[in-house]
Amino acid sequence: MPTPKQTLGEFIIENQADFPYSSGELSRLINSLRLAAKVVNHEVNKAGLVDILGANGETNVQGEDQQKLDVYANRKFIQTLTNREIVCGIASEESDDFIQISGQNRDNKNKYVVLMDPLDGSSNIDVNVSVGTIFSIYRRVTPIGTPVQLEDFLQPGNLQVAAGYIIYGTSTMLVYTTGHGVNGFTLNPALGSWYLSHPNMKFPENGSIYSINEGNYVHFPQGVKDYIKYCQEEKEDRPYTSRYIGSMVSDIHRNMIKGGIFIYPKTSKAPEGKLRLLYECNPIAFITEQAGGNASDGFQRILDIKPAELHQRTPFFCGSKKMVEKAEEFMKRSDEKNQSHALSFSSK
């Protein structure tokens, strides 16, 4: 069992044996991510003092206004990973297409691709609310030494070898998993070192917090509306507490510590959902399951979804196991009722 005073570097070295096939490459990759996170953290912390707040006047591939810090974080993570030549490809929520990375001899022998949301919740920067970075790591499926292909990125989440997030808040934390549990490291800004502060993180099996943007209530599927009513009922263990920050990393982090469910469903305005499967949902789902929680699209396990496109969206239900199962019950019941009504109508 690791000690709370252990640094991230020491932790990585101690657990290197979990990856005998990686030859230290995965460890170096995680080290690069922690370095880029420190650089972004420094910029986030001085955001009110320099001209890096607000939108930059551009939109990303999602059609969303890019914030200046979105662009900065995206550039810093890509630069760090590219300069160290430890991945063969990168895909970012902020970029239209994936990036092929060639080594100095043009033959990239690296095994891993990284997918990332460089700054989740960046619109909250202007109001001094926590934001985060989300990353996901896969072993490539195309032959090593050849240019990386789209299929290297379009892998189901159950094939991830590592995933994590960095939360830039009252303290800066890096939380990640390599399929052997979830551990959280807090940055000591004075020393520039990450220390193991939250070993073996676990979602409580049940919780009393539900996180959803209720301002979109009228656009939600009936199953989600029914679950919200359930959360608000006056019962022995309810009503639950509504807590929604608007930065998914922050909502997930709080719910993992205190127990809760995060829901971002499809709506009549966004029938496919809004969150990105590859950059947000898969890595958070991997962490959640490793921490004893559940993650689904309301009907099926997120990690079993086979992606069809780089910027694919999906509904997302994630958190304490029993809360997600209860939400799925309401979704299934509503879906069965709709199917029954459709059959009844068609037979007339």
Task: Map tokens 């691709």 to a residue.
Answer: 113
Q: Do the beta carbons of residue 206 and residue 323 sit within 8 Å?
A: yes
Q: What is the pLDDT of residues 141-174, one digit of tens each?
A: 999 989 999 999 999 999 999 999 999 988 999 9
Residue 54's pLDDT is 46
Q: Is position 274 annotated in a ligand binding site?
A: yes
Domain boundary among 145, 174, 198: 198
Residues 146 and 236 in one domain: no
Q: What percent of the chain has pLDDT over 70?
A: 87
Q: Is position 293 annotated in a ligand binding site?
A: no
Helix (H, G, I), strand (E, B) or coil at 330: helix
Task: Map tokens 């379009």 to a residue.
Answer: 154
Asked whether residue 1 is domain-assigned, the answer is no
Q: Count up the domains in the chain and report the number.
A: 2
Residues 155 and 233 in one domain: no
Residues 120 and 260 in one domain: no
Q: Is position 123 annotated in a ligand binding site?
A: yes
* Pick from 216, 196, 230: nearest CA to 334: 230
User: What mean pLDDT comes out for the span 305-310?
Assistant: 97
Asked whether residue 203 is domain-assigned, the answer is no
Domain boundary among 169, 198, 227: 198
Q: Is position 93 annotated in a ligand binding site?
A: yes
Q: Is position 117 annotated in a ligand binding site?
A: yes
| Residue with more model confidence, 177 or 27 | 177
Residues 223 and 342 in one domain: yes
Residues 318 and 296 in one domain: yes
Report how far residue 163's alpha carbon sits from residue 69's, in angstroms, rounded to the nearest whole number. Answer: 22
Residues 234 and 160 in one domain: no
Q: Which long-range contacts (CB under 8 A, 24 or more apart) does 186-194 make?
A: 187/37, 187/38, 187/41, 189/41, 189/45, 192/38, 193/7, 193/8, 193/9, 194/7, 194/8, 194/9, 194/34
Asked whether residue 159 is domain-assigned, the answer is yes
Q: Which two tokens stand for residue 295?
A: 């993650």
Residues 190 and 321 in one domain: no
Asked whether residue 289 is domain-assigned, the answer is yes
Least confident of 67-76, 98-107, 135-144, 234-243: 98-107
Asked whether residue 38 is domain-assigned, the answer is yes
Residue 26's pLDDT is 85
Report how far residue 206's alpha carbon sits from residue 261's, in angstroms, rounded to the nearest whole number. Answer: 9
Boundaries of domain holding 167: 8-198
CATH number at residue 325: 3.40.190.80
Residues 145 and 31 in one domain: yes
CATH number at residue 87: 3.30.540.10
Q: Is position 275 annotated in a ligand binding site?
A: no
Report how far residue 179's alpha carbon sits from residue 219's, in angstroms, rounded to the nearest whole number. Answer: 36
Domain boundary among 198, 221, 255: 198
Report how far residue 229's alpha carbon sits from residue 326's, in angstroms, rounded to the nearest whole number. Answer: 12
Q: What is the pTM of this model?
A: 0.91
Q: Is position 122 annotated in a ligand binding site?
A: yes
Asked whether residue 89 is domain-assigned, the answer is yes
Asked whether residue 3 is domain-assigned, the answer is no
Q: Is position 120 annotated in a ligand binding site?
A: yes
Q: Do the beta carbons of residue 148 and residue 113 sit within 8 Å?
A: yes
Q: Is position 145 annotated in a ligand binding site?
A: no
Asked whether residue 34 is domain-assigned, the answer is yes
Q: Is position 244 annotated in a ligand binding site?
A: yes
